[in-house]
Structure 1
């Protein structure tokens, strides 16, 4: 583990921060974007779900066609596409032009996520894979800390277009960092439909994918509408909402630190405990948030944010452990299911808000997340000799 490798991991973490902020930025900007584009908050929310669906398809295409492409060059190209996408989003004058910009970014998003885990694992020794993925996917949590809340702040005080412009500039910084610091990645992966079929022969990976769909759909059903939920609180003023989002994200970073220390030896325990706590918090928020004080909702967001971060890293690391020689295809499929779940969650959230209310939405999300334990508790952990774990 040289200094350059550590710096490369942090550059990749910056890239995940940027691409997650790009994906989720509308969550913190629903109101100003809806007003500017003369549409509804639910329509703007659909830019998140549609982005996720396109990203899922992009990840599948990447798993079929891009396995043999040099990973470093591919990361550079995909980051450049993200620069263009955010620039177009910042200049969008209609909902259609905004959606077009988002689709362009989603194409890069899916392919990016399909290779980022493999890239991180390929540049570190085998015994550092868990720590490397924790660092790289820490960008997801940091995006919740500085991405969504700062986007919300910029949207309120400067304008939502400036938020997308800032993400475009940050994409340029990521591009330069990848070009200068990330070493050449020689790992080549199987491509084509045969590689996908090989992944689906593992019952263990299939169980992880089912758990992913349930947990991520549940999380984003709730998280996509966190701003309207916070706005509905009687005992919390609107000025405090960016701070609560910041608290949520800081808890996510703390969760990443915890995961980095424990994940290599306690992967399943982290996954089970995190799902239990996250599901409990979502259910409690749905049941009691209207009566809660600022301290109560803050504590719930801390627990939810920390455990959600642990879930993200644990599931990705689990896939890398189980995949053996099919890491690229398995990771790409994981990304496809992850993004499909985001789309399901955002769309389901829109329907639940329109048909019922925010309280019912959060209770529903908590129950759905708890159901993932049916799969998580029966998945084995990869053995020490790097062979695919035997299914029990």
Structure 2
């Protein structure tokens, strides 16, 4: 295979990983758009239904760390394909669940594969492209996160509302199987990493710079999912927003994320810190607006604020992942596994904090607390120099 053909084939594989990230994030977050429907069908409250997001995320934490310690030596293609097939099984079982405990059990199976897949895909992307294109590859791969918001969560809401939430989960199962097939066809043979284990994890966790960036990630991701997990009941409670408008609003949120990935993809390698700081400020501002003028925004203004929030969080996710990969160097896999664990742990923490705060103080206060936490994460980034490997000499 010529160098040009190999390069083209590798970029196709990067795109396949982007589809994979879309699938795993859709699987994790689809219940966010269906909490009310699931709760009503299974006889649980909306806050209890939110536990299917929380528990899923926390199990994914353990799976991500297990991957770095135990599975790191396995060849990448068969491992990623097997993980996607497990994810397909999980969603299929969820579609058949007729009790809340059965649904939770099905979600546990998916969470095990989710954490492992998430820990791998960032480093696999870095194996496929030159070092100076890692940011672009990361933008493509984690663009699936934004795509899950623009297509996954809103479509799950749309299908779940009109055809039942079980149909939405069945659709996710079919998509997971399709992605397993695509990954099998497009991913080249990639070896595992030798010597990745507890020592490597400790080396990353003991680094001062990693501690700072991980703290910013915890604050930001926890805050985002405190609010986003309950975006459907928040929108449903707003005067002037009909239930039929919720899915289009979620599409606007995710569409902004896709656009942000396109815009930041060419900038992230050269202006990493700048892109991240601007995005963090925009996300905090959007949440503050949703909190302070809740009920008075109206449909058009709410749409605009969601577009700002959606675009900002997409750039933040790509920025954090790129920062970790550039910072880690040879320790990319353990650093990525820790990032995946922190990310999913923060999703779970955000969901359960969101449930508690919304019950005690209401959704408006929840969004205000989220805005404040992201502002604190922004300060941590302001005080931290960009990774030395970035090509942006000014940062």
TM class by shorter chain equals: over 0.9
Q: Distance in 2 between matches of 1:187 and 1:263?
A: 27
Equivalent residue number for residue 73 of structure 1 = 78
How far apart, in 1, do the equivalents of 2:389 and 2:214 lie?
22
Superposed, 1:193-342 pairs within 5 Å as 193-342=198-347
- Deviation by residue 1:326-364 (Cα, 9 ceiling, x = unmatched): 110000001101111101100000001111111000001
RMSD: 1.5
1:36 matched residue in structure 2: 41
Contact 1:29 1:160 in 2 (8 A): yes
Cα deviation, 1:12-34, whole Å, max 9, x if unaligned, reads 11111010000001101111111
TM-score (ref. length: structure 2): 0.96
More off after superposition, 65-74 vs 278-287 = 65-74
TM-score of the superposed pair, with normalisation by structure 1:
0.96
Q: Are positions 1:10 and 2:15 aligned together? A: yes
1:119 matches 2:124: yes
Contact 1:233 1:289 in 2 (8 A): yes
Q: Which moved more, 1:345-354 or 1:63-72?
A: 63-72
> Please, which of 45, 52, 55 is the counterpart of residue 50 of structure 1?
55
Count of matched residue pairs: 388
In the alignment, the residues of structure 2 paired with residue 243 and residue 189 of structure 1 have an alpha-carbon distance, to the nearest angstrom, of: 47
Give, in whole Å, the separation in 1 of the partners of 2:277 and 2:338.
22
CA contact (8 A) 2:62 2:341 kept: yes
Does the CA contact (< 8 Å) of 1:321 and 1:381 recur in 2? no
Distance 2:81 2:175 in 1: 14
Query: SS of the counterpart of 2:190?
Result: coil
2:189 counterpart of 1:179? no
Partner Cα distance (1:319, 1:189) in 2: 20
CA distance, structure 2, for counterparts of residue 265 and residue 214 of structure 1: 25
**How far has the Cα of 1:385 moved from its partner?**
9.0
Secondary structure, aligned partner of 1:262 = coil
The alignment partner of 1:2 has SS state of helix
Q: Tell me what 2:3 maps to.
A: none
Unaligned runs of 5+ in 1: 387-392
Distance 1:358 1:220, change over 3 A: same
List structure 1 segments (4+ residues) > 6 angstroms apart after TM superposition: none
In 2, the alpha carbon distance for the partners of 1:50 and 1:375 equals 28
CA distance in structure 1 between the partners assigned to 2:172 and 2:208 by the alignment: 39
The counterpart of 2:350, out of the listed 345, 348, 355, is: 345
CA contact (8 A) 1:189 1:329 kept: no
The 5-angstrom pairing of residues 26-175 of structure 1 reads: 26-175=31-180
Once the two structures are superposed, residues 99-131 of structure 1 have per-residue CA deviations (whole angstroms, 9 ceiling, x without a partner) of: 000011001111111111000110111121100
Cα deviation code 1:198-219 (max 9, x no counterpart) = 1123211111111110000000
| Offset at residue 236 of structure 1 (A) | 1.3
Following the alignment from structure 2 to structure 1, what is the Cα–Cα distance between the partners of residues 132 and 364?
44
- CA distance in structure 1 between the partners assigned to 2:376 and 2:77 by the alignment: 38
| SS at 2:297 equivalent | coil
Q: Distance in 2 between matches of 1:20 and 1:192?
A: 26
Report if aligned partners of 2:74, 2:192 keep a CA contact under 8 Å in 1.
no
